[in-house]
Chain A
Amino acid sequence: MRGLEKMTRRAVVAGAAGLAVAGSAGGAFAQDTGPVRIGLIYSKQGPGASIGEYLQRGSQLAVEQAGGKVLGRPIELTWLDEPNPQVSQQNMQRLIDENKVVAVVGGNYSSSALAMMSVAAREKIPLILPGAAASEITGKNCNRYTFRTQATVPVQMRGLMPYVAELGKKVYFLTPSYAFGQDILRSSRALLKENGLTEVGVDEVPVNTADYSSYILKIRQARPDVLIGGLVGGDFSNFLKQWNEMGMKDRIPYAAVAVTDTDFWDVGPQASTGIFIKPWYYNNPKNTEAEKKMIADFQKKYNQPPSDKTWSGWIAMRALLESIEAAKSTESKAIVTALENWKNTDGEQSFFFRDWDHQLVRPAVIVRVKKQITDKFDYMDFIKDTSATEEETKKAFGTKEEIGCSMPPL
């Protein structure tokens, strides 16, 4: 009896172990035929929440336009938060460990992006950043599994500076005190001389500053011809509002890079002003057919036009889905190779991820806030692209030596 009991117990244990093995094998098997899981990391709360929402809507729209399928298998999206670098990094890990994603699209802030990239490289999971403009992401910190769609700060500054020079000679910098802001300072200082500009002041503002009145008093005292900024999201909206409140809107022009439409929609026409570089604008006559379709689909779904963040989330997801199709596999190395060979030929200038630093080589747009804003969403006039031809664009993004990325082998 005892022996039998012993036997049974052993059998049960063996059976359980067998089941466990079968289960895990089944899991691996499911990943080849079941849904294709893709992670999203965008802000859900805090000052970046509205940016996060537009990014997510863009990525979601790309999935819907693909019929919700890739390689004939349904796509399953999991969206986690991007509240700060630490948690964004943990969320990246969670998507990989718990959700078993094949790739991640996300990362709007340079600081979070840098944290998430290291996980992408370690776990060998492709990551496409739709935002995050700091140079080092595709420069000295570059890695084989990270791709970035937004133009780098130096590229954007080079597009902006000639317009700054038209406005006057003396510039004042108001930049956020982290990687992105320091990058703005570094790259614009390098361009001051060739544009005939001089620096009359600089303030590096701590992130999440609510009140800018003291800064504005200081800028007013310094009497610059132009203010070059780099504040982001809620901070930028707060600044614009107080800049207007303190009667500075029509006194000193404001110029900045990497802004987004919601920064302006959030404060309204009365406080909006300036000249800006952004990745995309919905009311740009040069938008491609595919982009026009995206705008129409967005308008239909949300009853308003998309912001440039929607475009960024959309193009990043499109690049990923098209690359998975091209690779005919969800295996990470195959996806990376396909992304390196991906090319978009929708518009006048084709664009692609440069294989040696994974930067999307594509011009940004220069826009100016309209004098009279009459529409609820159309605040900008498109001026021109930061570069006119493919050759110029390639040149603007810098040479291998300037970028300083040494890409490890796959």
Chain B
Amino acid sequence: MLDILVSQIANGFVLGFIYVLIAVGLSITFGLLGVINFAHGAFFALGAYVGWQLFQLFGWPAVILAPPIVGLIGMAVEVTLIRRLYGKEPLLSLIVTFALALLIEAAIRYVWGADGKPFNPPPFLAGIVEIGPLLITKYRVAVLGATTATLLGLWAFLAWTPYGRILRAGSRDPEMVELLGINLPRVLTAVFGLGCALAAIAGVLAAPLWTVSPSMAANAVMPAFVVVAIGGLGSFRGAVVAGLAVGVVMSLTIQFKAEAAAASMYALMFAIMLLRPRGLFGERWERFE
């Protein structure tokens, strides 16, 4: 019994980390721009598709270009559409980004067709690793590594670089940042692009695990929203803790009561919301209250 529990918890961690990666992009876009991006999942799917296309054309190494490409697409979307939503009614951004999600899904279907695209882990990452009672696939270990590296890099960028400081300052007091002579609109364009690129990284990593199809994001984005709600909107630390919690709770629920698996993360969210309405690490943000 212990064997299987160890494997389930490890598996839950990996799954949780993928949710964290999706959730962090969502959280950054909200924290810094004040826009809840319902199209986040569409960028996730777009990442998987661009990755698949690059793989078809140039082989595995080229796949690494998918996130920057999706990031650029995100920036173009910010300049044409998202920019107009800043400081407006939150409901408006929900509707517009929801429409954007449908549009991107339809565009994917138009370009690549409604069928899924076969995409498997690269040959050197195929197979499983067994360490004592722990059983995990090589590819999932690689996902864990890539996700951790991405999250650490992102954290270091936000915490220690001057650019990161501008972002954090801009999210709290945009007027002051502009008074200091910083071109905030350009910064915000980059932030939205960054959020989309993060979604694309998750999409590329998930592509060999989950079927690459136009609606692939639907099942992955819901947990990410739950993770953001549990962790606290805009909180980086919160997203990580909540993501891992959701992953482990789901894995263990499947082990003991599979029928309740889908409900388990909502139950967790419900419990946390009752105790801490702003989520685990949610702070009071004057801009949104």
Interface residues of chain A, those whose CB is within 8 Å of chain B, are 45-47, 49-50, 52-53, 177, 203-206, 208-211, 213-215, 217-218, 220-221, 234, 237-238, 241-242, 244-247, 262, 265-271
B197 in the interface, Cβ–Cβ < 8 Å? no
| B137 / chain A contacts, CB cutoff of 8 Å | 245-247
Minimum distance in angstroms from B99 CB to a CB of chain A? 13
Q: In the complex, are the beta carbons of B259 and A206 less than 8 A apart?
A: yes
Contact indicator A266/B105 (Cβ below 8 Å): no
- Check A217 against B4 for contact (C-beta < 8 Å): yes
A46-B215, A245-B208 given; A234·B261 CB < 8 A: no
Question: In the complex, which residues of chain B have a beta carbon less than 8 angstroms from the beta carbon of A218?
Answer: 4, 254-255, 258
Stretch at the interface among B78-86, B113-121, B163-171, B188-196: B113-121
Q: Which of the candidate stretches B6-14, B59-67, B88-96, B270-278 sits at the interface with the other chain?
A: B6-14
| Complex Cα–Cα for A247 and B125 (A) | 12
B219 sits at the interface (CB 8 A):
yes
* B251 at interface by CB-CB < 8 Å: yes
Given contact pairs A47-B218, A265-B115, A266-B116, enumerate 13 new A-B contacts (beta carbons under 8 Å): A50-B113, A53-B114, A205-B261, A206-B259, A211-B210, A214-B12, A217-B4, A217-B135, A218-B254, A218-B258, A234-B215, A245-B137, A262-B116
Decide if B118 touches A266 in the complex (CB within 8 Å).
yes
- Give, as a whole number of angstroms, the nearest-CB distance from B173 to chain A: 39
B residues in contact with A204, CB < 8 Å: 258-259
Q: Can you list 17 A-B pairs with a CB-CB distance of less than 8 A?
A: A45-B106, A50-B115, A203-B258, A206-B262, A208-B219, A208-B262, A211-B209, A213-B140, A213-B251, A217-B4, A217-B7, A221-B4, A234-B211, A266-B117, A268-B118, A268-B120, A271-B118
Q: Is B213 part of the contact surface with A, judged by Cβ < 8 Å?
A: yes
Q: Which residues of B contact A208 (CB under 8 A)?
A: 218-219, 262
Q: Give the chain A neighbours of B220 by CB distance below 8 A.
A: 210
In the bound complex, how far is the Cα of B114 from the Cα of A52, in angstroms? 9
Instruction: Give CA–CA (A242, B255) in the complex, Å.
Output: 17
Q: How far is the CA of A210 from the CA of B261 in the complex (A)?
A: 12
Q: Work out how many contacts link A and B, with CB atoms closer than 8 A.
A: 131
B172: A residues at CB distance < 8 A: none
Q: Are B215 and A217 in contact (CB under 8 A)?
A: no
Which of B105, B135, B220, B250 has the most chain A CB atoms closer than 10 A to its own CB?
B135
Question: What is the bound-complex CA distance between A246 and B126, given in angstroms?
Answer: 9
Q: Which residue of chain A lies nearest to B212 when distances are taken between CB atoms in the complex?
A: A266
What chain A residues lie within 8 Å of B105 (beta carbons)? 45
A246 touches B255 (CB 8 A): no
Residues of the A chain whose Cβ atoms lie less than 8 Å from the Cβ of B258:
203-205, 215, 218
> B109 within 8 Å of A by Cβ?
yes
B214 contacts the other chain (CB 8 A): yes
The answer to whether the Cβ of B201 comes within 8 Å of any Cβ in the partner chain is no
A246 and B137 alpha carbons, distance in the complex (Å): 6
- The smallest beta-carbon distance between B36 and chain A, in angstroms, is 21
Interface residues of B (CB under 8 A from A): 3-4, 7-8, 11-12, 14-15, 102, 105-106, 109, 113-121, 126-128, 135, 137, 139-140, 208-211, 213-216, 218-220, 250-251, 254-255, 258-259, 261-263
The answer to whether A210 and B210 touch (CB under 8 A), given A46-B218, A217-B135, A221-B4, is yes
Cα A205 to Cα B11 with chains together (Å): 18
Interface pair B15/A213, CB less than 8 Å apart: yes
CB of B114 within 8 A of CB of A50, answer yes
Residues of B within 8 A of A213 (CB): 11, 14-15, 140, 251
In the bound complex, CA of A268 to CA of B12 (Å): 26
B140 proximity list for chain A (CB < 8 A): 213
Complex Cα spacing A95 to B195, Å: 41
Are B261's CB and A209's CB within 8 A?
Answer: yes
- Bound together, the chains give a CA A340 to CA B105 distance in angstroms of 41
Which chain B residues lie closer than 8 Å to A245 at the CB level?
Answer: 120-121, 126, 137, 139, 208-209
The CA-CA distance from A237 to B11 in the complex, in Å, is: 20
User: How far, in Å, is B264 (CB) from chain A's closest CB?
Assistant: 10
Q: Are B210 and A217 in touch, CB under 8 angstroms?
A: no
Contact A266 B115 (CB under 8 A): yes
Flag if A242 contacts B254 (CB, 8 Å): no
Compute how far the CA of A203 lies from the CA of B256 in the bound complex, rounded to whole angstroms.
10
A204 to B15, CA, bound (A): 20
Q: How far is the CB of B1 from chain A (nearest CB, A)?
A: 9
Q: CA A244 – CA B255 in complex, angstroms?
A: 20
CB neighbours (8 Å) of A220 from chain B are 135
Bound state CA distance, A266 and B116, in angstroms?
A: 4
The 10 closest A-B pairs by CB, nearest first: A268-B118, A266-B116, A206-B262, A210-B219, A214-B254, A237-B211, A203-B258, A50-B114, A214-B251, A49-B114
Contact A49 B109 (CB under 8 A): yes
Q: Which of A45, A206, A242, A244 contacts B261 (CB 8 A)?
A: A206
A270/B118 in contact, CB under 8 A: yes
A241 contacts B209, CB within 8 Å?
Answer: yes
Task: Note all chain A residues with C-beta closer than 8 A to B139.
Answer: 245
Max chain A Cβ within 10 angstroms of own Cβ: one of B7, B14, B254: B254
Known pairs A50-B116, A204-B259; A241 contacts B210 (CB<8 A): yes
Taking a contact as CB atoms under 8 Å apart, the answer to whether A214 and B8 are in contact is yes
Whether A267 lies near B118 (C-beta < 8 A) is yes
User: For residue B115, which residues in chain A have a CB less than 8 angstroms away from its CB?
Assistant: 50, 53, 262, 265-266
Q: Which residues of B contact A215 (CB under 8 A)?
A: 254, 258
Question: Measured between alpha carbons, how far is A215 from B255 in the docked complex, in Å?
Answer: 7
With A49-B109, A266-B115 as known contacts, state yes or no: A247 contacts B128, CB within 8 Å: yes
Report Cα–Cα, A203/B258, bound state, in Å. Answer: 6
A268 to B209, CA, bound (A): 13
